């Protein structure tokens, strides 16, 4: 197994042993209370495991015996920790429930198969016996992708792939690698880098997410400009279904009809369980540089990204924070510190250069050969300077890299202080991006203002562009707001709905790299069309005729005629 | 309408008015007879239109009246020329039948809709009335993709999209364009280039094929290294089906489940009629250079391509002929000419440089800014020289460009002289490419040797690599052989089957950019798997419940249980 489950928090983010440096920093909380228009921030701790009662497991004894016979004695578990750990993903919505001790969606058992044949056996049996199966990789879904719902069935098992973590083959000539899908990010990269290769897929969840999970939700890593999204680097897959294996061919390109690989990527466990995958790899880059640039506003920063993408400069990452995100993280870093000489000099310099409150920080990443890195950096600096940006050197890049996986750890201490923290993301063509940005920001601000627990309180809405293309880009919003403690789930639903309505009204996608899960289900039909949803239903009906796989995700239930 | 149908050959390639310079060149035919081990080449002309009798159209009068009411008086045609023109595509197998006057698959009528709504109306009506509909773009399929089969239905209409040829919108900021799918290559490029934009998709069929056709069969243009295949440049599409419009969203990337655009590209008219498409465009490149290189053998040429692709050099085209193709076209160019001093000097120089019979010609294309072209050319020359190649300068590139669309015109005069000419293509990862090359070449040579009309006769089997990727490449085979005039279709079937069996046995794709159509149907299940084929059937069942669309293509018929 990749990581022993008791080493990971069951109701929060990351390592159980992680010590956050923020919880006890009353100076930070005072500053943040002020930012949010609150007199103070209450202490709102999560319930402990000992305060939780789970419903009795609903699996019949013969089913338990059968699973044990298939997988081995220790590979079917139904203790409270395992069931709680696999109950939900790690979205804000999930954490609200986990922290409140609401484990209605705990699976009746957790199964740990050791290989593709065992997955096939479990699926065939579960289908025959009408037991729902929720495929589970790292469990870091932030869209309700792994909630262990039984749907219309009497029982549900979580199928945890983490024992399926072998690197099966590296084809150095073709630059591809084949691995079992349950392998975690660090284990995969360690095995590949031992052979001077990399997949280069580093999502913020990297430490706790798996190859199969990345494929299932069409994930994007932080250097997606160089390495691509899952749909770009996936070459072929083995999908285990209740009806057997669907194997897509390992070919570079084809005109033999639609490539069924494109149905596996983004299938979110509803068509089958991604058991193995062959992916594009690259040599570990000779050089990697991450540098900071300060743009005068979001518009000029966006223009720089668009130009770089359309010139195909070969940058690895262009991450542009909007003015609010730039301001927030600068102030967060300074909170509680007496403004030192360095900070005051910096501010004076920026004022002198006529950088106002609209200034936006960009972290630009360059990877490849020394020569290629130097060349694309030089060209990007030309573009940035021509648009009035200031080069900040390599310190902001180094800081970003050092903290690249730390962001999600901030959420738990914030939730311990009566705050809500949610993120959402979308994408649109360049010509629609400005309107999309304005509409989603406005929807979030309005919905937060309407649901804060006291007059005068407000939220912080921040945004960055982190994944771009020749034809458009993604927008990633983060919002922090005072929680309505007497109706926190209803508050979240209102905010989520407002943002989602704004997104679909702009013709943008409901998700660029998080997926659909349960949370985006109400809007997926607007994006795909009724006929498109029927197509997805027909595919599911073929591969999973009983509908046991991951009930309630991706595909809306059929309305009665 | 894009091109008046009577200006295009109904039983051969290209412009009816095209004069080939080869037919009367007895010196060429004598040389070719020698190459093929034949004493001489018989004159075997095609039947004329006046020698052909078509079955009476089977559409009921009320159906004709209805179509006329929908489309307008002149937009339903059932004269002999229109029906013969739309009977089949332009594969060798098709031409054998067209030239023999076998028009069993002539449609009962040809419909010319003027827009998406008319297409929808035709499909809804045809579905209600059980009339088969064969979507028709340029009709240049070489895999039996447009044979007007009625399938299980009593009548069949060809739905000719050529009146749907508007460029609807150009989004310069996002670098996308939206057009009706019936637009021909030259009209699309003319309209785009008037706005300094290009799609850059130049298949050999460019003059006679359409945007919708390219998408339907996942086509590749000659500069696919720069512009991508259809599945790369297609952003979104409107697919008209008997159940209404399937519209995929116009977004740069998404995690909202599988992108249904990936089911439209390669759908070959069996899921619906591609009515409109939004595609990625680029500025017309500032510079374009095409240059020749001579490699010592196919292996070193292949290595140069692999290195260029894996270094992401930004070449637009790397087209490597194998030794046989290199030798054949050199000899073809020289046939009948007394070997001049220049030619003899060239040969002597090559011998002195120790280039033997294994020498392979590559045409390398570079497009982009002046600087980018110079840079990628310089780096490619380094790679080529390090592998022992000789730079031939720009003449071979200019010759290739001048004749880039002329290849298919050679087939008609060859068929007039008792010869068979067929092409097929496949793709595989780099680590499988050598074995694939050897297996397909051997299968073709053996099958041709077993089916030539007289002892001692032989075929010519040539191959080139024209589309490459970081993980692999395509192989494009051309074979020329003496036709078995008393059983030419049986001969073709044996040759085709032998090559196809070799391809699937190697785990390669049955087609890289021609499609499946009727001709590859016997091997598609081996590539997709039984379960994969069931998925395709389920999609079709949803969009085209009666199965009226393009019967007999892409998806094998369901076996009785």
Burial level of A379, CB count in 10 A (0-12/13-18/19+)? middle
Cβ(B265)–Cβ(B234) below 8 Å: yes
pLDDT digits (tens, 9 = 90+) for B269-296: 999 999 999 999 999 999 999 999 999 9
A527:B249 CB<8 A = yes
- pLDDT for position A357: 86
B128 touches chain A (CB under 8 A): no
Question: From the candidates B178, B198, B248, B256, which should be mutated to test the interface with A, based on the most A CB atoms within 10 A?
Answer: B256
Handedness of CA B490, B491, B494, B499 (dihedral sign): negative
A511:B256 CB<8 A = yes
Q: Residue A316 carries which DSSP code?
A: S
Q: Residue B383 carries which DSSP code?
A: H
pLDDT digits (tens, 9 = 90+) for B400-439: 999 999 889 999 999 999 999 999 999 999 999 999 999 9
Would you list the DSSP string of B282-300?
EEPPSEEEEEEEEESSHHH
Chain A residues in contact with B251 by the CB 8 A cut-off are 427-429, 472, 507-509
B 252-271 residues inside an 8 A Cβ radius of A:
252-260, 262-263, 265-268
B235 touches chain A (CB under 8 A): yes
Identify which of A120, A134, A118, A113 has the alpha carbon closest to the alpha carbon of residue A242.
A120
CATH class (in words) of the domain with range A173-283: alpha beta
The SS3 assignment for B546 reads coil
Whether residue B1 has pLDDT greater than 60: no
Name the CATH topology of A5-160: 3.30.43
A 50-79 residues inside an 8 A Cβ radius of B:
none
B 426-455 residues inside an 8 A Cβ radius of A:
427-432
pLDDT digits (tens, 9 = 90+) for B530-543: 999 999 999 999 99
Identify which of B482, B484, B485 has the alpha carbon closest to the alpha carbon of residue B34.
B482
Residue with tokens 């140069």: B304
Residue among A507, A542, A543 minimizing CB distance to B250 = A507
| Token pair recorded at residue A187 | 């284990």
- pLDDT for position B232: 98
Q: How far is B215 from chain A (nearest CA, A)?
A: 10
Name the CATH topology of B167-283: 3.30.465
B510 touches chain A (CB under 8 A): yes
| Beta partners for residue B475, in sequence order | B426
Which residues neighbour A521 within 8 Å (Cβ) at sequence distance 6 or greater? A552, A553, A554, A556
Strands of B109-111's sheet in order across: B76-77, B109-111, B156-160, B132-136
| Token pair recorded at residue B252 | 């740069």
Q: Using pLDDT thresholds of 50, 70 and 90, give the confidence band for residue B22.
A: confident
CA atoms within 13 A on the CB side of A382: 10
Chain B residues in contact with A280 by the CB 8 A cut-off are 470-471
- pLDDT for position B561: 59
Could you say which of B92, B293, B409, B476 is catalytic? B476
| Token pair recorded at residue B137 | 């773009």
Identify which of A414, A449, A405, A388 has the alpha carbon closest to the alpha carbon of residue A328.
A414
Phi then psi for residue A113, to 5 deg, are -70, 155
Chain A residues in contact with B256 by the CB 8 A cut-off are 266, 509-511, 515-516, 520, 524, 527-528
Residue among B219, B263, B430 minimizing CB distance to A174 = B430
Ranges under pLDDT 50 in chain A: none
B 476-505 residues inside an 8 A Cβ radius of A:
none
Q: How far is A67 from chain B (nearest CA, A)?
A: 26
Q: How far is B556 from chain A (nearest CA, A)?
A: 12
A 143-182 residues inside an 8 A Cβ radius of B:
171, 173-176
Cβ(A232)–Cβ(A262) below 8 Å: no
Cβ(B197)–Cβ(B284) below 8 Å: yes
Stretch(es) of chain A classified as CATH 3.30.43.10: 5-160
Residue with tokens 């590979």: A75
Stretch(es) of chain B classified as CATH 3.30.43.10: 5-163
Stretch(es) of chain A classified as CATH 3.30.465.10: 173-283
Which residues neighbour A39 within 8 Å (Cβ) at sequence distance 6 or greater? A33
A226 touches chain B (CB under 8 A): no
* C-alpha to C-alpha distance for A15 and A208, rounded to whole angstroms: 9
Q: Angle at CA B560, nearest 5°, toward B558 and B561?
A: 110
Would you list the DSSP string of A73-130?
GGGEE-SHHHHHHTS--SSHHHHHHHHTT--TT--SEEE---SHHHHHHHHHHHHHHT
Residue among A430, A514, A524 minimizing CB distance to B173 = A430
Q: Which DSSP helix (H) or strand (E) runs through A522?
A: helix A521-528
- pLDDT for position B558: 83
- pLDDT for position B338: 60
Stretch(es) of chain B classified as CATH 3.30.465.10: 167-283
Q: Crossing angle of helices A26-35/A323-334, nearest 10°? A: 150
A531 touches chain B (CB under 8 A): yes
Whether residue B336 has pLDDT greater than 80: no
- pLDDT for position A495: 98
A429:B251 CB<8 A = yes
Cβ(A138)–Cβ(A79) below 8 Å: no
Would you list the DSSP string of A26-82?
HHHHHHHHHHTT-S-----PPPPGGG--PPPP---HHHHHHHHHHH-GGGEE-SHHH
Q: How far is A128 from chain B (nearest CA, A)?
A: 18
Question: From the candidates A205, A240, A249, A256, which should be mutated to test the interface with B, based on the most B CB atoms within 10 A?
Answer: A256
pLDDT digits (tens, 9 = 90+) for B122-178: 999 999 999 999 999 999 999 999 999 999 999 999 999 999 999 999 999 999 999
pLDDT digits (tens, 9 = 90+) for B338-364: 666 777 777 777 888 888 889 999 999
In chain B, pLDDT over 90 holds for what percent of residues? Answer: 90
Name the CATH topology of B5-163: 3.30.43
Q: How far is B311 from chain A (nearest CA, A)?
A: 10
* C-alpha to C-alpha distance for B174 and A247, rounded to whole angstroms: 36
Name the CATH topology of B287-404: Vanillyl-alcohol Oxidase; Chain A, domain 3 (3.40.462)
Residue with tokens 């369901």: B558
Q: Is B437 assigned a catalytic role?
A: no
């Amino acid at each position: 197994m990749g990581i022993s489950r008791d080493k990971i928090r069951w109701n929060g983010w990351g390592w159980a042993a992680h010590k956050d440096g923020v919880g006890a920093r009353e100076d930070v909380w005072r500053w943040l209370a002020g930012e949010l228009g609150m007199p103070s921030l209450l202490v709102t701790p999560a319930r402990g495991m000992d305060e939780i009662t789970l419903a009795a497991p609903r699996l019949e004894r013969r089913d338990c015996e059968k699973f044990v016979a298939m997988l081995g004695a220790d590979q079917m578990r139904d203790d409270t920790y395992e069931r709680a750990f696999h109950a939900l993903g790690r979205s804000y919505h999930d954490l609200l429930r986990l922290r409140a001790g609401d484990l209605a969606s705990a699976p009746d058992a957790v199964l740990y198969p050791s290989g593709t044949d065992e997955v096939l056996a479990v699926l065939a049996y579960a289908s025959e016996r009408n037991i729902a199966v929720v495929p589970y990789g790292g469990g870091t879904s932030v869209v309700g992708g792994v909630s262990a719902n039984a749907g219309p069935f009497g029982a549900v098992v979580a199928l945890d792939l983490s024992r399926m973590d072998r690197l099966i083959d590296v084809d150095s000539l073709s630059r591809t690698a084949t691995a079992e899908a349950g392998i975690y990010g660090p284990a995969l990269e360690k095995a590949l880098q031992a052979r001077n290769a990399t997949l280069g897929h580093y999502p913020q969840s990297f430490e706790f997410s798996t190859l199969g999970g990345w494929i299932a939700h069409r994930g994007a890593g932080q250097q997606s400009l160089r390495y691509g999204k899952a749909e770009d680097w996936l070459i072929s897959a083995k999908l285990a279904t209740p009806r057997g294996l669907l194997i897509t061919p390992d070919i570079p390109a084809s005109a033999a009809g639609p490539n069924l690989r494109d149905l596996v990527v983004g299938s979110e466990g509803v068509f089958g369980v991604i058991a193995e995958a062959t992916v594009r790899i690259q040599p570990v880059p000779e050089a990697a540089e991450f540098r900071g640039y300060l743009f005068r506003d979001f518009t000029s920063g966006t223009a720089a990204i668009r130009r770089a993408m359309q010139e195909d400069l070969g940058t690895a990452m262009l991450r542009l924070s909007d003015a609010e995100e730039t301001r927030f993280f600068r102030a967060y870093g300074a909170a509680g510190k007496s403004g030192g000489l360095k900070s005051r000099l910096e501010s004076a310099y920026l004022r002198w250069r006529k950088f106002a409150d609209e200034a936006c920080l960009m972290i630009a990443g360059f990877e490849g050969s020394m020569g290629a890195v130097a060349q694309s950096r030089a060209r990007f600096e030309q573009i940035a300077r021509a648009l009035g940006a200031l080069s900040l050197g390599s310190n902001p890049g180094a800081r970003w890299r050092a903290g690249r996986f730390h962001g999600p750890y901030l959420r738990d201490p914030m939730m311990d202080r009566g705050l809500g923290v949610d993120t959402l993301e979308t994408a649109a063509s360049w010509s629609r991006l400005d309107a999309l940005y304005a509409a989603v920001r406005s929807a979030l601000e309005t919905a937060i203002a309407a649901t804060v627990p006291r007059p005068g309180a407000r939220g912080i809405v921040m945004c960055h562009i982190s994944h771009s293309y020749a034809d458009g880009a993604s927008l990633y919003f983060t919002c922090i707001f005072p929680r309505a403690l007497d109706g926190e789930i209803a508050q979240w639903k209102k905010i989520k709905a407002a943002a989602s309505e704004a997104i679909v009204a702009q013709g943008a996608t409901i998700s660029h790299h998080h997926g659909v899960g349960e949370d985006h289900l109400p809007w997926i039909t607007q994006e795909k069309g009724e006929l498109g949803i029927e197509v997805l239903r027909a595919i599911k009906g073929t591969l999973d005729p009983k509908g046991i796989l991951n009930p309630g995700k991706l595909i809306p239930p059929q309305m009665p005629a």
